[in-house]
Amino acid sequence: MNTAEHDVWGSEDVSSGKGAGDENFPVGSLLISRQMRPYVHAYYDFARVIDDIVDTDRLDPQAKIARLNAMEEVVRGTRTASQRPDAQTAARVREMFARTGVPVETATDLIVAFRQDAVKNRYGTWDELVEYCRYSANPVGRFLLDLHGEGPQTAGPSDALCTALQVINHLQDCADDLRKLDRCYLPREWMEREGARLEDLYGPFALPALRRVFDAMLDEVDRLNDEASRLPALVRDRRMRMECAVIVGLSKRLAARLRREDPVAGRVKLSRGDVLAAMAGALRVIGG
């Protein structure tokens, strides 16, 4: 590797140590066929690495963007991957796309969002946040559906589901995002309308003004989940249809928990009962 290559990749280990078990929803779960699971895990590993790159405090914004650009070039085949583990995840994704025919944009669009995260830490409006989710979340659903050969009719409900899940995650992590990353995804316009302040996220619990912002965001999540409810019936592959039905159920249950519980006081999580109930609900949907 020449000096320029070394300067791009650097020597910093930016791994967060997180894995699939740290996510709200199962990655490459048993509902996905054994044949498809390695492809899903390759995609997840790549997504985790680029997420870690942008969230690390060991790199400045310019270094983050340079490394993300290098990852994109590896995925597109215009750069040879180094032997570093992070670069190798991009190489495996490139090989996976060549083998499956899934559009490469389902990975490179994620990089668009993470480059934005490197330099942008506040969002003015709900529409601005939804546009961010278009790149940070929606490609994940499109990847899974394209991998299973699903048609374009699934795109709208899938995007709604992925955006709902992303906003739910922003609400779960709202206090930690500000404290650890100086990042806030709550729309500033709605914060000002309700009289909430960023400093309120540092408190031990959500004040009424901040709670109203959460509820306004959850109103939008509920509308997105309603649209996402159409997705399972549009999916042809039976296992993927079940996976979609379970995730829609989990998204609705987690949104309901965020209505009842306070994400400032502690991270709101799904219970085992939520998971079992979502699976039972999915069986009813599929059976019907």
What would the pLDDT profile of 116-160 be if each residue is shown by its tens digit? 999 999 999 999 999 999 999 999 999 999 999 999 999 999 999
What band does 18 get if pLDDT is binned at 50, 70 and 90? low
Cα dist from 97 to 1, 81, 85, 189, whole Å: 25, 16, 19, 40
Question: Domain 121-288 carries which CATH code?
Answer: 1.10.600.10
Q: What is the mean pLDDT of residues 41-60?
A: 95
- Distance between CA atoms of residues 186 and 174, nearest Å: 8
Q: List, for residues 191-205, the tens digit of each pLDDT value.
A: 999 999 999 999 999
Domain ranges of the chain: 33-120, 121-288
Query: What's the confidence (pLDDT) of residue 277?
Result: 86
- pLDDT at position 83 is 77
Tokens standing for 272? Answer: 């085992």
pLDDT in tens, 218-247: 999 999 999 999 999 999 999 999 999 999
Taking each helix axis as running N to C, give the angle between helix 61-76 and helix 37-55, from 0 to 180 degrees, rounded to the nearest 10: 160
Is 92 within 8 Å of 109 (Cβ atoms)? no
pLDDT band at 26 (very low <50, low <70, confident <90, very high): low
Quote the pLDDT of residue 86: 87
Alpha carbons 145 and 244: distance in angstroms, whole number: 10
Which distant-in-sequence residues (6+ apart) come within 8 Å of 198 by Cβ? 178, 184, 191
Alpha carbon distance 64, 39 (integer Å): 26
